Amino acid sequence: MTESSLAPMRTWLAAPMDRDVSEAIERLRHAPDVQQIAVMPDVHLAADVCIGVVVATSHLIYPQAVGGDVGCGMLGVALDVEATALEDPGIAGRVLVALGRAVPARRRNRRAAITQPADLETATLSHSSLEAMRRTEGAIEFATLGSGNHFIELQSDEDGRLWLMVHSGSRGIGWAIRDHHLRQAEDVGGGLRALDVRNDRGAAYLHDASWARRFAEANRRAIAAEVGTVMEARLSARLCWETAITTDHNHVSPEQHGGDLWIHRKGAMPAGHGEMGVLPGSMGSPSFHVEGRGHEPALCSSAHGAGRALSRTAARAKVTERKLRRQMAAVWYDYRLAEKFRDEAPSVYKDIRAVLRAQKEW
């Protein structure tokens, strides 16, 4: 395959790409039906397809270019209280404890499950195994946070107002959907598997992924509602839903970019003209509300966060619990979990301002 026949690629980088990242993207450029690739400033290595990459195709769907946590994304919403309401350590500590009880990482008791929106409960997935999981684990884990870099965070804006940010996705059922459909997909080389939207297998994946995306969106809203209950009880503060910003960064979507294309975003936000998003920094840095400019060379996409500079393995080798505590000195969190947070330390992420600068032309 000649260079001229490879999919065109544009990059906006906050730092030079590692060799492994470059090689993974080159494999993707060689894949069948890949029409265009946009590489975001927060790009980093992940299995099969890097996080922070946008892929356009005409008829083939690559579940690996969406990832397992289908619909994972962000929700930001303001409260009707100043951030100074949490200045007192005693109050902040009680709120922190209450939040941990209201929104668990996982839920194991079905009797404690929170009701899903009717359209999610009545939907049917494409395979009996996925249906069984939707009715069991999907129901139990609804309105739970998950692990890894998923979080609930309370922050002050530049005017001193308190905001809630939620980062979560489709929980275990998103991964099950990806894995099931990968088994149905065709091996196209380079470690990649594809489905064709023109047949039943491709249509089945799109149906299930669309459900997972809606589930993830509803999951974040349900989490926010649980946080709102805590904040009203503890601070007499209410969520101002009219301020809500919601976006996701793991999906495939039919879009118009000089023609009908399927846009895969894995760790990239949609950023059409006027489209609002939430761009989180690390646990120790600011986050940003952003507005899309509809930049076509980037397939109307944006970075989805700071992006990892170190893998989890490298982070745990480099960041001690003492270093984490020092980096998090200005942040209220459950100090008993410091050991578990070492691979999410602020220093293992890129500078969020450098990420923003890399895409300033947008």
Q: Which residues are catalytic?
A: 304
The sign one gets for the Cα dihedral 31, 34, 36, 37 is negative
The sign one gets for the Cα dihedral 174, 176, 181, 186 is positive
Examine residue 2 and state whether it is found in any structural domain, yes or no: no
Amino acid identity, residue 92?
A: A
Whose CA is closest to 278, among 243, 253, 312, 313? 243
For 1-53, how does the pLDDT look when each residue is reduced to its tens digit (9 = 90+)? 445 579 999 999 999 999 999 999 999 999 999 999 999 999 999 999 999 99
Examine residue 327 and state whether it is found in any structural domain, yes or no: yes
* Pairing verdict, β 151-156 and 250-256: unpaired
In CATH, what number is assigned to the domain containing residue 194? 3.90.1860.10
Examine residue 140 and state whether it is found in any structural domain, yes or no: yes
The distance from CA 112 to its chain's CA centroid, rounded to whole angstroms, is 26
Tokens of 222: 């349900």
For 216-271, how does the pLDDT look when each residue is reduced to its tens digit (9 = 90+)? 999 999 999 999 999 999 999 999 999 999 999 999 999 999 999 999 999 999 99
Count of structural domains, the chain: 1
User: Does 201 or 332 have the greater pLDDT score?
Assistant: 201
Examine residue 35 and state whether it is found in any structural domain, yes or no: yes
State the first-to-last Cα distance of the chain, in angstroms, to the nearest integer: 32
Give percent helix, percent strand, percent coil of the chain, each to the nearest 5.
Answer: 40, 25, 35
Tokens of 98: 């209450």
Q: Which residues contact 121 (CB under 8 A, 6 or more apart)?
A: 115, 139
Examine residue 13 and state whether it is found in any structural domain, yes or no: yes
User: Does 337 or 79 have the greater pLDDT score?
Assistant: 79
For 144-161, how does the pLDDT look when each residue is reduced to its tens digit (9 = 90+)? 999 889 999 999 999 999
Examine residue 186 and state whether it is found in any structural domain, yes or no: yes
Examine residue 167 and state whether it is found in any structural domain, yes or no: yes
The parent domain of residue 73 ranges over 7-358
> Are the C-beta atoms of residues 143 and 169 closer than 8 Å to each other?
no
Examine residue 1 and state whether it is found in any structural domain, yes or no: no
